[in-house]
């Protein structure tokens, strides 16, 4: 099943919802001017993974029109998820971390920078969802529908570098778990991942870099977020994509740095991001809302019968997956990348 923008959701409907949300924000903005002089000059440092920049530009502007956000300035940094977390651990200024992989929050927990209970916040610390999808060429000439199609002879695949990118980690775990759900043993599923990587012709540093490579003509398929494929279309580039029958639900985490001098304000921003108006904006940008009221407005995101989560017994949660697949030197991906001549760290 291939999708274009008019199939996952209707663009006109989204624009109407955006207008309604904008009217509500205008009303909130009038109240904000009276209520929040105390925020003047406050700055929040947002460090995020590479792909949500367009959505965050709108969300930040909208937050600044609310009472809580009036007078608040932002610095924004976007890049490969794991690299971003490592930079923050090394000292990059950060009040809010928005990576794509929960193990990257754990990097900061281990560094004493994020509270270990970050995932006990609302929606388990998740701000939005998406799923693993395959971007394909126009009319899908290689007839890519499922995971086994990606290992066929002559099919060239792009997926990001798993040592810098959160997107890559989701892709790898989706591939492995899909094979397990198709009845393969652990060893057979690992062998499938290695076979898949023999068809990988490029491993860019991030999801956004992968999108750029694919749009520049590289590869027959790019393993990516559904939200990234939709975002590319919203920018004016028609991207067709396939959601395989067995896919992985990607839950995007967000957390406040516990040493932030603006901790209360950072928490207010995260609370805003999880509110219905903000979640509608995220939905308009191709993300699956976690707020139930907003999610009801986006009922036509495709639901695949084999949708898997990180809690699945084949994966065991993000900590187990991180340790088994991506932790040096015994992580499975170190051996697979070595076997195919890919990146080593």
CATH number of the domain at 2-128+250-295, please? 3.40.190.10
pLDDT, tens only, 181-190? 999 999 999 9
For 320, the token pair is: 């187990």
215, 151 in Cβ contact below 8 A? no
Q: What is the mean pLDDT of residues 90-97?
A: 98
Given this model, what pLDDT does residue 306 score? 93
pLDDT at 170 over 80: yes
> Can you give the pLDDT at residue 8?
43
Query: Per-domain residue ranges for the chain?
Result: 2-128+250-295, 132-249+309-340
pLDDT over 50 (residue 31): no
- Token readout for 3 is 């999708």
Query: What is the pLDDT, as a whole number, of residue 3?
Result: 54
pLDDT(284) > 80: yes
**pTM score, two decimals?**
0.90
CB-facing half-sphere around the CA of 118: CA atoms within 13 A: 28
Q: CB of 225 within 8 A of CB of 130?
A: yes
Backbone angles phi and psi of 242, in degrees to 5: -120, 135
User: Residue 169 and residue 161: Cα distance in Å, rounded?
Assistant: 8
Q: What is the DSSP letter of 151?
A: G
- The DSSP letter of residue 272 is H
Same CATH fold, 132-249+309-340 and 2-128+250-295?
yes
Report the CATH fold assignment for 132-249+309-340. D-Maltodextrin-Binding Protein; domain 2 (3.40.190)
Q: What is the mean pLDDT of the chain?
A: 91
pLDDT digits (tens, 9 = 90+) for 235-266: 998 899 999 999 999 999 999 999 999 999 99
d(CA 89, CA 105) in angstroms, rounded, equals: 10
CA neighbor of 243 nearest in space, from 310, 305, 315, 152: 305
């Amino acid at each position: 099943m291939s999708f274009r923008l008019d199939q996952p959701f209707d663009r006109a409907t989204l624009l109407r919802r955006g207008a309604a949300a904008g009217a509500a924000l205008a009303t909130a903005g009038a109240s904000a001017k009276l209520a929040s002089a105390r925020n003047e000059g406050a700055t929040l440092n947002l460090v995020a993974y590479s792909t949500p920049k367009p959505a965050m530009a709108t969300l930040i502007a909208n937050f600044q029109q609310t009472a809580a956000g009036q007078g608040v300035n932002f610095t924004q940094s976007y890049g490969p998820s794991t690299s971003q977390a490592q930079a923050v651990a090394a000292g990059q200024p950060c009040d809010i971390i928005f990576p794509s992989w929960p193990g990257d929050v754990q990097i900061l927990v281990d560094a004493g920078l994020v509270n270990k209970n970050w995932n006990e916040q609302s929606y388990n610390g998740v701000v939005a969802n998406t799923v693993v999808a395959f971007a394909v060429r126009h009319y899908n000439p290689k007839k890519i529908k499922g995971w086994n199609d990606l290992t066929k002879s002559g099919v060239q695949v792009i997926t990001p570098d798993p040592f810098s990118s959160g997107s890559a980690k989701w892709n790898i775990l989706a591939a492995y778990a899909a094979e397990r759900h198709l009845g393969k043993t652990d060893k057979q599923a690992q062998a499938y991942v290695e076979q898949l990587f023999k068809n990988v012709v490029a491993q860019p540093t991030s999801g956004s870099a992968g999108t750029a490579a694919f749009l520049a003509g590289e590869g027959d398929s790019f393993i990516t977020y559904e939200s990234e494929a939709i975002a590319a279309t919203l920018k004016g580039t028609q991207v067709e994509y396939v959601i395989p029958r067995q896919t992985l639900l990607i839950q995007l985490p967000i957390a406040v740095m516990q040493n932030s001098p603006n901790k209360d304000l950072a928490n207010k921003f995260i609370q805003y991001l999880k509110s219905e108006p903000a979640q509608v904006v995220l939905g308009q940008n191709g993300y699956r809302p976690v707020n139930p009221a907003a999610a009801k407005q986006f009922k036509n995101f495709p639901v695949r019968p084999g949708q898997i989560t990180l809690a699945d017994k084949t994966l065991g949660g993000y900590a187990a997956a991180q340790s088994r697949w991506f932790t040096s030197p015994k992580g499975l991906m170190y051996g697979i990348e070595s076997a195919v001549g890919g990146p080593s760290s």
